[in-house]
């Protein structure tokens, strides 16, 4: 019997993943919160808000605006909504609604009200079994998926056989997949790369060049590895589950998010570097840059871990303490090597 896949979310990343699944002729139950967008897609075969060049086979889509119904009729849930919205969307759901479900996280942040990754939040609020949890990481931009440019995904999960099965859903002629058991590391790497990409954007807005950015990103990677190892130690991960961190899910994702013009986090930082306020930047972009709120959550996490991440701390001070981008980037420049 074919497993039924439900998608929670309808942004650019959710739409890109829906394209991949339906290109593999996999039917999906798709929760789209906005009824106008849902009705538009049923008539016009594409998302009116994101990746509008992607046309869907409506025979493979069961579009709904009732999240409970979407979850109930699905065996596997692919969650692809901004982390800042997660708690409000899930808080009123029955506590047993995820029983016997598998969850795939395409969330690229931490829940801001409690600084938790999605798997920890689901375990805490829904008693969800981590062995039924998987995460998707890049490097992979939604815009390039829409254009069917060759891209790469890493699927992480505790059970390698099951993770391989999940990965098979996303393998196409334009998507290559790899797997590992590092659901913590890949998720934290996804959070960190968005924050560091904000810093890359700030540097670009301040007219720093490519030479500086290459050294900046090198040091960001070194800093992120330090945090990942500290977090792995805290989670008491078995040594055999700690992967090679010098791979695309960690370094590659940081590079593409820091350099690519598709990166909304880099774009957000660029506005800040050019002198825009946070409020003006949010209004100008009209999109969610996960790194902004994630920087506050990660600041709390590094305090709990009792470690120092000077680059991340400088970016946090720009975004949340109204410190001068120019002065903080000069401070970062002095510690790079």
- DSSP string covering 77-135: EEE-S-HHHHHHHHTTS-TTTTTT-EEEE---S-BTTTTB-HHHHHHHHH---GGGEEE
Cβ neighbours of 184 (radius 10 Å): 22
Question: Is 176 in contact with 151 (CB distance < 8 Å)?
Answer: yes
pLDDT exceeds 60 at position 158: yes
pTM of the predicted structure, to 2 decimals: 0.91
Residue of 208 and 11 predicted with greater confidence: 208
Question: Is 194 in contact with 289 (CB distance < 8 Å)?
Answer: yes
Residues in the chain, how many?
337
Q: How confident is the model at residue 173 (pLDDT cuts 50, 70, 90)?
A: very high
- 245, 249, 252, 255: CA torsion to nearest 10: -100
The single-letter DSSP state of residue 139 is S
Return the half-sphere exposure (C-beta side, CA atoms, 13 A cut-off) of residue 68.
7
- CA distances from residue 82 to 14, 25, 41, 164, 289 in whole angstroms, order as listed: 10, 26, 21, 26, 9
Task: Report how far residue 224's alpha carbon sits from residue 191's, in angstroms, rounded to the nearest whole number.
Answer: 10
pLDDT exceeds 90 at position 331: yes
Q: What is the mean pLDDT of residues 4-15?
A: 93
pLDDT exceeds 80 at position 247: no
Domains present along the chain, CATH in parentheses: 5-181 (3.40.50.720), 184-335 (1.10.1040.10)
Q: What is the mean pLDDT of residues 46-51?
A: 88
The reported pLDDT for the residue numbered 73 is 95
The reported pLDDT for the residue numbered 78 is 97
Helix or strand run (H / E) with residue 153: strand 151-157
Judged by average pLDDT, the poorest of 148-157, 244-253, 297-306, 316-325 is: 244-253
Q: Which two tokens stand for residue 244?
A: 């090679």
Q: Which two tokens stand for residue 122?
A: 């689901």
The reported pLDDT for the residue numbered 241 is 57
Angle, CA of 179, 180 and 183, to the nearest 5°: 115
Q: How confident is the model at residue 61 (pLDDT cuts 50, 70, 90)?
A: very high
Judged by average pLDDT, the poorest of 28-37, 232-241, 281-290 is: 232-241
The reported pLDDT for the residue numbered 139 is 86
The reported pLDDT for the residue numbered 236 is 65
Angle between helices 310-320 and 290-305 (to 10 degrees): 130
pLDDT exceeds 90 at position 290: no
What is the phi-psi region of residue 286: left when phi exceeds 0, alpha when psi lies from -120 to 50, beta otherwise? Answer: left
Q: How confident is the model at residue 63 (pLDDT cuts 50, 70, 90)?
A: very high
Judged by average pLDDT, the poorest of 31-40, 93-102, 303-312 is: 31-40
Angle, CA of 295, 198 and 152, to the nearest 5°: 100
DSSP labels for 184-197? HHHHHHHHHHHHHH
């Amino acid at each position: 019997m074919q497993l039924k896949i439900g998608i929670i979310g309808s942004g650019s990343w959710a739409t890109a993943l829906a394209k991949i699944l339906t290109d593999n002729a996999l039917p999906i139950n798709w929760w789209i919160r906005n009824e106008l967008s849902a009705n538009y897609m049923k008539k016009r075969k594409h998302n009116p808000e994101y990746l509008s060049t992607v046309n869907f086979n409506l025979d493979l889509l069961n579009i709904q605006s009732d999240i409970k119904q979407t979850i109930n009729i699905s065996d596997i849930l692919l969650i692809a909504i901004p982390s800042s919205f997660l708690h409000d969307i899930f808080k009123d759901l029955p506590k047993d609604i995820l029983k016997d479900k598998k969850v795939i996280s395409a969330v690229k942040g931490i829940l801001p009200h409690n600084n938790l990754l999605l798997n920890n939040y689901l375990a805490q609020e829904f008693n969800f079994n981590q062995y039924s949890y998987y995460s998707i990481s890049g490097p992979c931009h939604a815009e390039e998926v829409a254009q069917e440019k060759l891209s790469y995904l890493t699927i992480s999960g505790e059970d390698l056989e099951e993770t391989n099965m999940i990965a098979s859903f996303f393998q196409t002629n334009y998507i290559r997949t790899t797997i590992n058991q590092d659901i913590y590391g890949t998720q934290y790497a996804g959070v960190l790369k968005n924050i560091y990409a904000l810093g890359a954007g700030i540097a670009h807005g301040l007219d720093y060049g490519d030479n500086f950015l290459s050294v900046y990103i090198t040091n960001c990677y070194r800093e992120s590895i330090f945090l990942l190892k500290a977090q792995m130690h805290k989670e008491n991960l078995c040594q055999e589950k700690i992967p090679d961190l010098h791979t695309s899910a960690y370094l590659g994702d940081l590079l593409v998010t820091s350099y690519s013009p598709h990166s909304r986090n880099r774009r957000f930082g660029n506005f800040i570097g050019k002198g825009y306020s946070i409020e003006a930047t949010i209004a100008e972009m009209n999109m969610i840059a996960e790194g902004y709120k994630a920087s506050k959550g990660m600041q709390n996490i590094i305090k709990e871990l009792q470690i120092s991440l000077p680059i991340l701390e400088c970016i946090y001070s720009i975004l949340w303490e109204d410190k001068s981008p120019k002065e903080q980037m000069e401070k970062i420049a002095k510690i790079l090597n």
